[in-house]
Amino acid sequence: MKAQRQNKILELVRDRRVETQEELAAALRSEGFEVTQATVSRDIKELSLIKIPGENNTSYYASPDQPVMRRGNDDRLKRLIRRSLSDINSSENLIIIKTPPGEAQGMASAIDHTHWPEIIGTVAGDDTILIIIKPKEATPGIVQRFQDLARG
């Protein structure tokens, strides 16, 4: 029953914008699942659902691997870069981004979730992000994309 419920949750957040746990619980009940808010909360955690910013200061649940999230992830990255990018530098296939203390891990996560094909991955400390690019010829273009995001 748990696997069926969790599959239904993934289907629901893929097919519609679910903004709250209460809304998700109501949708599950309408599909025949008897759930409590605590059960829905545990399922959200186990499924690693995340909240994506929507229009008019709203947010909604989504699966981290959901392809439709890319625009939401780009918007999140844009906000983080505008707020937190202190410096950017590159060498060969490596990019270093400096942020205020405590901001690097959130920004690195946003970079990872944009799924830019040239970015192999990121490593974040407290105030520094290392971004690995492939091929190295793409590095200047990626730096430019970050700079464009910072300018708005």
Alpha-carbon distance values, 63 to 7, 38, 50, 116, 149 (Å): 11, 19, 6, 18, 25
58 and 87, same domain (yes or no): no
- pTM score of the predicted model: 0.56
Examine the fold and report which residue of 65, 87, 109 is the final residue of a domain before the chain moves on. Answer: 65
Cα angle value 134/140/142 (rounded, 5°): 65
What is the model's pLDDT at position 127? Answer: 95
Q: What whole-number distance in Å separates Cα of residue 10 and Cα of residue 136?
A: 37
Domain assignment of residue 128, given as a range: 69-151
Q: Hey, how many other C-beta atoms are within 10 angstroms of the C-beta on 77?
A: 21
Do 75 and 119 share a structural domain?
yes
Residue recorded with tokens 């492939």: 134
Q: Is the dihedral of CA 26, 31, 32, 38 positive or negative?
A: negative
Whether residue 45 is found in the same domain as residue 82: no
* pLDDT, tens digit only, all 152 positions of the chain: 899 999 999 999 888 889 999 999 999 999 999 999 999 999 999 998 888 766 667 788 888 776 544 555 677 788 889 999 999 999 999 999 999 998 998 899 889 888 888 999 999 999 999 999 999 999 999 999 999 999 87
pLDDT of residue 68: 47
- Which helix (H) or strand (E) element contains residue 120? strand 119-124
Burial letters for 44-59: b for 16+ Cβ neighbours within 10 Å, e otherwise?
beebebbebeeeeeee
CATH number at residue 130: 3.30.1360.40
**20, 46, 65 — which closes off a domain?**
65
30 by DSSP, 3-state: which? helix
Regarding whether 85 and 11 lie in a shared domain, the answer is no
Q: Are residues 10 and 47 in the same domain?
A: yes
Domain end call among 18, 33, 65: 65
